[in-house]
């Protein structure tokens, strides 16, 4: 049951996708990506979106 989160749906910056088995790990990896690729820090709102995204695609 992989968790998928796309950068696009969280930051709108690119189509990078993280895929892990763990929701918090997926969010952590997306945060790392946003920092290195876009010099962005995920806001609480973005993390909330990321969590929703992970849940929606988990089915």
Q: Examine residue 7 and tell whether it contacts Zn ion (CB under 5 A).
A: yes
- Taking each helix axis as running N to C, give the angle between helix 23-38 and helix 44-58, from 0 to 180 degrees, rounded to the nearest 10: 130
Q: Examine residue 16 and tell whether it contacts Zn ion (CB under 5 A).
A: yes
Angle at 6 between CA 49 and CA 1, to 5 degrees: 90
Residue keyed to tokens 């895929």: 19
Question: Which of 13, 19, 48, 55 is the binder for Zn ion (CB under 5 A)?
Answer: 13
Q: Examine residue 54 and tell whether it contacts Zn ion (CB under 5 A).
A: no
Nearest CB to Zn ion, comparing residues 13 and 56: 13
Instruction: Summarize as ranges the residues that interact with Zn ion (CB under 5 A).
Output: 7, 13-14, 16, 37
């Amino acid at each position: 049951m992989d968790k998928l989160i796309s950068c696009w749906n969280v930051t709108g910056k690119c189509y990078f996708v993280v895929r892990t088995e763990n929701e918090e790990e997926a969010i952590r990896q997306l945060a790392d990506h946003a920092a290195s690729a876009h010099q962005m820090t995920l806001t609480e709102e973005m993390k909330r979106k990321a969590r929703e995204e992970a849940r929606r695609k988990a089915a």
